[in-house]
Structure 1
Amino acid sequence: MKISIIAGSNRKGASSTQVAKVLARTIQEQGHEVIFIDLYEKPMPLYSPDLSYANDVNVSDMRKAVLSSQAVVLATPEYHGSVSGVLKNALDFMNKDHFSLKPVLAVSSSGGDVGVSSLQQIQAIVRNLHGINCPEWLSVGGAQRSVFEQPQLDPEHEMSKRIMRVLGTFLALADQLSSKSCAHS
């Protein structure tokens, strides 16, 4: 299965991007293909419905990646109780064709204890794009973020166990939806 992961920060070394990289590695270790889109490394122009972005490589690569994927992970830092402007801007370049009936996992990193507001907003955006929200989400807050500064997570660490549980739910949903999609083709 092909899964796109969008790391929605424009900060070098952002904790939300580090969490997304751990998820990407874990998903690949389970035999899936991952397309990693880092909005720090591949910034999007400011979206306007009046402009054409046909010649913008970052925009077209992101659109193609999400369109060709069976599932999507959206990772954001939580800024002032909201998703990052960078991630919201990137999502504005896509429509229901990119997300319709695809499972989406919402992930946040917050300086506070948890980043639930941004996760709820991601889920509202996903619903409006006709995607299917994973019933699990992943919020990494406060001191938990330091775990992702290590090159490798200890498999016995509570965060590793949480990641495996969340990804297990997400990948099972993606597999189930992908199977149904293939059966109807």
Structure 2
Amino acid sequence: MNLLILSGSAFPGSHTHAVARKIASLVEQPEHTVTHIDLRELHIPVFGQGKTDDVEALKRLAEKADAIIIGTPNYHTSFSGLLKNALDHLSMDEFDMKPVGLYCNSGGMRNSDPLTQLRMVMRGVHALVLPLQVCTCDADFERSDEGHQLGNGELIERLSVMIDGLVRQSHTETVNI
């Protein structure tokens, strides 16, 4: 499986980024590959204002991925504008019948509202969103020299189950009707 992880936080060293690092460490390699894109590091203009090499590279990576995991911080009970703008540059060409996993981080308490909204966006591009999702909050993390580290064992296990679901779905043939 070729897995693409999209992190939608605008801040370096974010909890969202830490979850993406944990996901990458849980994927069995070398039989599977992981590409982690931290969207804040790309030059992605506001949708409709042109395209850049970064936009084209993102489209190619998304199209070549067998599965995608999308992570976002909870900004005012929604997903980040940075992520929304990046997704606006993508289409059914990249997502049609592709398995997608979702996760988010909220500050004080877990909240799945951003993922409910992301599910609607993914439905619009015909993605196959897994029913299992992961919601973290700041209390689920520990600080280390490398930054935030997800320390909640139950959530790490949930991420493993999500990855297993993506592996199974990415190897299942779909029939277009």
CA displacement 1:106-155 (0-9 Å, x = unmatched): 110111321300011111100001111111111111301337823xx67x
Instruction: Give the aligned length.
Output: 173
| Larger CA deviation: 36-45 vs 126-135 | 36-45
Asked if the contact 1:10/1:43 (under 8 Å) is kept, the reply is no
* Matched residue, 1:145: 141
Classify 1:138/1:13 alpha carbon distance in 2 versus 1 (closer, same or farther; 3 Å): same
* Matched residue, 2:42: 42
Match among 93, 110, 115 for residue 114 of structure 1: 110
Asked if the contact 1:9/1:40 (under 8 Å) is kept, the reply is yes
CA RMSD of aligned residues (A): 2.2
Asked if the contact 1:28/1:34 (under 8 Å) is kept, the reply is no
| Larger CA deviation: 104-113 vs 160-169 | 160-169
* Matched residue, 1:61: 57
TM-score by length of 1: 0.84
Asked if the contact 1:109/1:145 (under 8 Å) is kept, the reply is no
What is the CA distance between 1:44 and its match in structure 2?
Answer: 1.5
What is the CA distance between 1:173 and its match in structure 2?
Answer: 2.1
- Give distance in 1, aligned partners of 2:30 and 2:138: 28
Classify 1:28/1:62 alpha carbon distance in 2 versus 1 (closer, same or farther; 3 Å): farther
Asked if the contact 1:136/1:170 (under 8 Å) is kept, the reply is no
Q: Which amino acid aligns with 1:166?
A: M
Which protein has the bigger strand share?
A: 2
TM-score by length of 2: 0.88
What is the CA distance between 1:42 and its match in structure 2?
Answer: 1.7
- Is 1:158 the counterpart of 2:154? The answer is yes
What is the CA distance between 1:30 and its match in structure 2?
Answer: 6.9
**% identity of equivalent residues:** 28
- Give distance in 1, aligned partners of 2:28 and 2:55: 24
* Matched residue, 1:20: 20
Asked if the contact 1:9/1:84 (under 8 Å) is kept, the reply is yes
SS in structure 2 at match of 1:134 = strand
What is the CA distance between 1:27 and its match in structure 2?
Answer: 1.8
Equivalences for residues 89-104 of structure 1 within 5 A: 89-104=85-100
Asked if the contact 1:5/1:73 (under 8 Å) is kept, the reply is yes
* Matched residue, 2:70: 74
Which protein has the bigger helix share?
A: 1
Classify 1:117/1:24 alpha carbon distance in 2 versus 1 (closer, same or farther; 3 Å): same
- Give distance in 2, aligned partners of 1:117 and 1:30: 35
What is the CA distance between 1:91 and its match in structure 2?
Answer: 0.2
Q: Which amino acid aligns with 1:119?
A: L
CA displacement 1:7-61 (0-9 Å, x = unmatched): 111111110111012112222537311121111222411111xx431xx121111
